[in-house]
A and B are shown apart, each in its own frame.
Chain A
Amino acid sequence: MPLTQQDIDAEIAAEHAAYARRVADGAPVEHHPRRDYAPYRSSALRHPRQPPVTIDVRRDPELVELRSPAFGERDLSAVDDDLTRHHHGEPIGERITVSGRLLDRQGRPVRGQLVEIWQANAAGRYAHRREQHDAPLDPNFTGVGRTLTGPDGSYRFTTVRPGPYPWRNHVGAWRPAHIHFSLFGPAFTQRLVTQMYFPNDPLFRYDPILQSVTDDAARQRLVAVYDHGLSVPEFSLGYRWDIVLDGPDATWIEEGR
């Protein structure tokens, strides 16, 4: 029997109900997906069964994981943050400006750190050899960008709005439009890879990857907001998305949390 959207919907609903029961019974809020989230079929053989071993960083401030690799100007070229200028011609699609701040759990800006993004083109096609979706490639769009955060933790990219695309989790599976983000903090423990979504996408409720974040408030934090102040007149529409890195850094030790 092929797996239908209805099957996946039922599994997603069951996972949400199970989370609601855990929280009602006093379990902590889950900000991140569980790695064993069955509706996302690729997770089945790729999640550890043993619980992770916890390291209390306050007991050893010398851990290399409390520091992070450095990135600088020579790791970037001039137009890396403008994905519409990586080819001779203009890419097809709705031009967007995506900007926000990179913060830590205390709300402090994360300065001078590397932000990498990748995405499908406006038709929902990745410039990746393994991508089988037969939407058109755009010779003027690769969909890869990088930048460094500024002194206030801010980042900014110019790109085109990616299209949704089908995938093979189940019959009729479509990913909502999204941009992949890779982020570093002042500690390697704060490493984050995630995805930014666009507001009011009708595919949200059907997508097992987005729904793997079972906490409603946490899931909402993956959705950018339209920000008219970021829109560039006669050029692009603006989306604001702030990113908060989890995990301890060296200052947790000084402050005793």
Chain B
Amino acid sequence: MTTTDPGGPGTALPTPSHTVGPFYGYALPFPGGGDIAPLGHPDTLTLRGYVYDGAGDPLPDAFLELWGPDPAGNVPDVDGSLRRDQATGGHLGRNGVEFTGWGRVQTDADGHWYARTLRPGARGRSAPYVSVCVFARGLLTHLFTRIYLPDDEAALAADPLLSRLPDARRDTLVAARERDGVYRFDIRLQGEGETVFLEFA
């Protein structure tokens, strides 16, 4: 089945997505991938959760990328998330000073992930959130979602995405506060309580 694209002239046709497969583990994750917050920053928060499949089993072979603004709502343009040692070729880790806004975290053997990042500030009309991209063996195309923080009900109520969703679906995008600065966000790929996933157009 060969088809022509409906896009206009000059439109380049996209390269299809493929699953990340089972063997990315020695290639993509890096030490300190979830330690996004600069050391000792007062606005640091911990995000953690599980990724579950449609049978309710946790995924030991998924990873997430987190991407968010700084506490003032500014988007970082700082590199250095993956700093390398020029002498050995190994990973140096982040420098603990600069905030790159981006991190990559694997699920553990029991499906649990965690990250420490800075509390995101609000941007535009949206309530504060961290953008998430989910990859896994078995997932032919990655999935986008968002982690909203539960602290400001008025901001959540006014958010252009959340306000479009029925309550039960909306709640899948709002992290649960476990204690000061620690939030739980589980991702359910399929079935009951399925997380809301996003596409951008």
Enumerate chain A interface residues (CB-CB to B < 8 A): 16, 19-20, 23, 28-29, 31-35, 37, 40, 42-50, 52-57, 59-65, 67-80, 86, 103-107, 114, 116-118, 120, 126-131, 142-144, 146, 180, 182, 188-189, 191-195, 209, 212-219, 221-222, 243-248
Enumerate chain B interface residues (CB-CB to A < 8 A): 1-7, 10-28, 53-55, 57, 59, 65, 67-69, 75-86, 89, 100-102, 120, 123-126, 129, 131, 133, 135-144, 160-161, 164-165, 169, 189-191, 194-201
Chain B residue, CB-CB nearest to A215: B3
Query: Of the candidates A61, A127, A212, A217, which one forms a contact with B13 in the assembled complex, judged by CB atoms under 8 Å apart?
Result: A217
B54 with A45: CB separation less than 8 A:
yes
A118 with B1: CB separation less than 8 A:
no
A72–B57 Cα distance when bound, in Å, is 38
A59–B120 Cα distance when bound, in Å, is 21
B22 to A: closest C-beta gap in Å:
6
B residues near A86, Cβ cutoff 8 Å:
89
Chain A residue, CB-CB nearest to B24: A118
List 6 A–B pairs whose Cβ atoms lie within 8 Å, in order of A's numbering: A19-B1, A40-B140, A49-B191, A69-B101, A104-B12, A118-B24
A16–B2 Cα distance when bound, in Å, is 11
**Contact count A vs B, C-beta below 8 Å:** 276
B12 with A77: CB separation less than 8 A:
no
Main secondary structure of the interface of B (DSSP, over half): loop
Given contact pairs A31-B13, A53-B199, A142-B26, A46 touches B85 in the complex (Cβ within 8 A): no
A182–B30 Cα distance when bound, in Å, is 14
Given contact pairs A188-B131, A191-B133, A180 touches B198 in the complex (Cβ within 8 A): no
B residues near A59, Cβ cutoff 8 Å:
160
Chain B residue, CB-CB nearest to A127: B26
B98 to A: closest C-beta gap in Å:
10
B197 with A189: CB separation less than 8 A:
no
Chain A residue, CB-CB nearest to B75: A67
A76 with B84: CB separation less than 8 A:
yes
A52–B143 Cα distance when bound, in Å, is 9
A residues near B11, Cβ cutoff 8 Å:
105-107
B12 with A49: CB separation less than 8 A:
no
A residues near B7, Cβ cutoff 8 Å:
105
A244–B16 Cα distance when bound, in Å, is 9
A residues near B142, Cβ cutoff 8 Å:
191, 193
B31 to A: closest C-beta gap in Å:
13
B16 with A219: CB separation less than 8 A:
yes
B residues near A214, Cβ cutoff 8 Å:
1
Query: Of the candidates B20, B54, B76, B123, which one forms a contact with A63 in the assembled complex, judged by CB atoms under 8 Å apart?
Result: B123
A37 with B75: CB separation less than 8 A:
no
A106 with B10: CB separation less than 8 A:
yes
A146–B91 Cα distance when bound, in Å, is 13
A124–B77 Cα distance when bound, in Å, is 39
A residues near B24, Cβ cutoff 8 Å:
118, 180, 182
B6 with A29: CB separation less than 8 A:
yes
